[in-house]
């Protein structure tokens, strides 16, 4: 029998931030930091690694470097296609792991153990790239890092969600996005002194050391108490852990009983819902009550049913639009290849790495400053504003590239990144759980994440091909893409700010 606790709104109780919660959040966020780092690590160094471009290092010759002493080559000769494949292998690894992360194997491992596995993938992949003397080792390293990224981008939000009281989930959710931006910025900073013929392997050594640090630190944080209760029925350890995470320990028995009820009824809120938990339980009757998104009873919904059945069509269309738009808007064309196309328009005396680092810094600042706007202006308004800004600025980037007007390119790139930060970047992960019903949210999140990685892969592989064909006109493509998303979002994506599932869709009409 489950013990019955006095009924009160324990889920919405405002807790203070405890040391154990803050520490676990910081350590778990290193996973999304590494995701951002590996997204951008080849931006400055790709042409040097592939022997297409040479930049002198601090030593008189490569023979004087530590890498030469270990028998490692100065660079790895690659064709343009092999160089593009090196970039794409990261997204391919992320796609694979995002598909398999929902398997029962990973579910049985636990959140903390899965994070440890992710750090091992990052560590091994970084080591492979650091010691590479051929494309096979380099691609294997990128693939392993992609596997780690695909796991971390899913499991880190889940772990933090299950450790965190509701009143801190919005802030800690935005912290993960900022952490990703900081990772991109860090890789740009590391590249300034190291993107040269002698030191490029230090870029991967840095990521190896970061992975090693996270691997060690993960043993200092707690396992998810929710996972322990629901999957292991280990209420004793879960109670001890939750007591260290909550500023008011009087809520602990209620949360434990809440999770025990979920483990019995199997009516669990989707684990893939990032930083959202809205289920409430009446502990007098021990019966589930209605959540803010509607019925809490999940079904054994399959991906095929979600994609093909008409009653899920509205959620499906909205998921497809915002999750594909997150990548096809063109942001990662700058993240992956900014150095290569910007270097063609800046003066020869300009260090292009300073410009790309400035873009990375603007990404961090934009992500931090945009967070308060999500609940003030509304989700859909920010998505539309994001698409509009990115349409205008991608046009500006192309005009600057075509006319060699470097100031226009630089300013347009900065505003392009700002446009991404206020909408299509962070909001898409917030909206999916808000416009999908409980029995759909797990499949919708999994489908959306997979689609997101496929779109990412398209940008990684096809942008250099299109750039070689169109030259500076390539960003006109993103102008039309973002304009198309602007009108499609108007037609098919609802506003979700402060609305229940029924309120989201009852008064929304679409074609």
Q: Between 51 and 256, where is the model more confident?
A: 51
The first and second tokens of residue 348, run together, are 């020869």
| 3-class DSSP state of 10 | coil
Q: Which letter does DSSP use for residue 288 in this model?
A: E
pLDDT of residue 479: 96
Contact in structure between 352 and 406 (CB atoms under 8 Å): no
CATH architecture assignment, domain 301-511: Up-down Bundle (1.20)
Smallest CA-to-CA distance from 246 within 236, 233, 256, 235 is with 256
Produce one character per residue of 423-441: b if its CB has 16 or more CB atoms within 10 Å, e if not: bbbbbbbbbbbbbbbbbbb
Q: How far is CA 366 from the centre of its chain?
A: 16
Q: Between 263 and 32, where is the model more confident?
A: 32
What would the mean pLDDT of 200-207 be, rounded to a whole number?
A: 96
| Domain(s) of CATH 1.20.1250.20: residues in the chain | 19-222, 301-511
Of the pLDDT bands very low, low, confident and very high (cuts 50, 70, 90), residue 126 is very high
How many Å from the N-terminal Cα to the C-terminal Cα in the chain? 51
Produce one character per residue of 327-347: b if its CB has 16 or more CB atoms within 10 Å, e if not: bbbbbbbbbbbbbbbbbebbe
Q: Does domain 19-222 have CATH number 1.20.1250.20?
A: yes
pLDDT of residue 22: 87
Question: Would you say residue 269 has pLDDT above 60?
Answer: no
Q: Between 234 and 250, where is the model more confident?
A: 234
The dihedral over CA atoms of 271, 276, 282, 285, expressed in degrees to the nearest 10, equals -10
The first and second tokens of residue 360, run together, are 């990375």
Mean pLDDT of the chain: 81
The residue ranges of DSSP E strands in 249-292, in sequence order, are: 281-282, 287-288
Residue 163, burial from CB neighbour count under 10 angstroms (0-12, 13-18, 19+): buried
Q: Which of 368-382, 394-408, 444-458 has the lowest mean pLDDT?
A: 368-382
pLDDT of residue 275: 38
Contact in structure between 175 and 426 (CB atoms under 8 Å): no
CA distances from 416 to 15, 168, 420, 462 (A): 38, 30, 6, 20
pLDDT of residue 441: 65
pLDDT of residue 283: 34
């Amino acid at each position: 029998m489950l013990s019955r606790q006095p009924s009160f709104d324990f889920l919405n109780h405002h807790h203070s931030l405890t040391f154990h919660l803050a520490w676990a959040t910081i350590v778990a966020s290193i996973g999304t930091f590494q995701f951002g780092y590996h997204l951008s690590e080849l931006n400055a160094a790709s042409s040097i690694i592939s022997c297409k471009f040479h930049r002198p290092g601090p030593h008189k010759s490569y023979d004087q470097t530590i890498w030469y002493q270990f028998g490692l080559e100065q660079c790895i000769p690659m064709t343009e296609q092999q160089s593009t494949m090196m970039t794409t292998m990261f997204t391919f690894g992320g796609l694979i792991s995002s598909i398999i992360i929902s398997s029962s194997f990973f579910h049985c491992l636990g959140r903390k153990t899965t994070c440890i596995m992710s750090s091992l993938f990052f560590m091994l992949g970084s080591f492979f790239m650091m010691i590479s003397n051929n494309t096979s080792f380099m691609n294997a390293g990128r693939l392993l890092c992609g596997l780690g990224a695909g796991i971390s981008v899913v499991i880190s939000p889940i772990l933090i969600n299950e450790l965190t009281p509701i009143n801190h989930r919005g802030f800690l959710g935005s912290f993960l996005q900022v952490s990703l931006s900081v990772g991109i910025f860090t890789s740009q900073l590391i590249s300034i002194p190291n993107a040269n013929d002698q030191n490029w392997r230090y870029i991967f050594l840095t990521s190896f050391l970061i992975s090693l640090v996270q691997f060690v630190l993960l043993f200092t944080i707690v396992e998810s108490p929710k996972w322990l209760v629901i999957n292991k029925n280990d209420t004793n350890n879960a109670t001890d852990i939750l007591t260290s995470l909550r500023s008011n320990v009087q809520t602990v028995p209620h949360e434990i009983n809440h999770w025990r009820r979920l483990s019995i009824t199997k009516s669990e809120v989707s684990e893939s819902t990032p930083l959202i938990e809205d289920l409430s339980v009446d502990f007098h009757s021990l019966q589930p009550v209605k959540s803010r998104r509607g019925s809490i009873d999940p079904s054994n919904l399959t991906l095929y049913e979600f994609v093909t059945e008409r009653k899920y069509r509205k959620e499906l269309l909205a998921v497809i639009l915002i999750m594909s738009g997150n990548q096809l808007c063109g942001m990662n064309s700058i993240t992956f290849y900014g150095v290569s196309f910007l270097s063609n328009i800046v003066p020869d005396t300009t260090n292009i790495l300073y410009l790309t680092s400035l873009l990375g810094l603007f990404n961090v600042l934009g992500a931090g400053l945009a967070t308060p706007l999500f609940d003030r202006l509304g989700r859909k308004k920010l998505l539309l504003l994001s698409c509009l800004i990115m349409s205008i600025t991608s046009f500006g980037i192309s005009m600057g590239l075509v006319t060699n007007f470097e100031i226009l390119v630089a300013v347009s790139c900065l505003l392009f990144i700002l446009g991404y930060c206020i909408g299509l970047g962070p909001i898409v992960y917030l909206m999916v759980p808000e416009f999908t019903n409980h029995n759909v949210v797990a499949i919708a999140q999994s489908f959306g994440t997979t689609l997101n990685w496929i779109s990412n892969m398209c940008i990684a592989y096809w942008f250099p091909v299109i750039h070689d064909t169109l030259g500076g006109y390539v960003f006109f493509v993103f102008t039309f893409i973002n304009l198309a998303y602007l009108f499609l979002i108007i037609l098919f994506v609802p506003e979700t700010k402060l609305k229940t599932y029924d309120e989201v869709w009852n008064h929304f009409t679409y074609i």
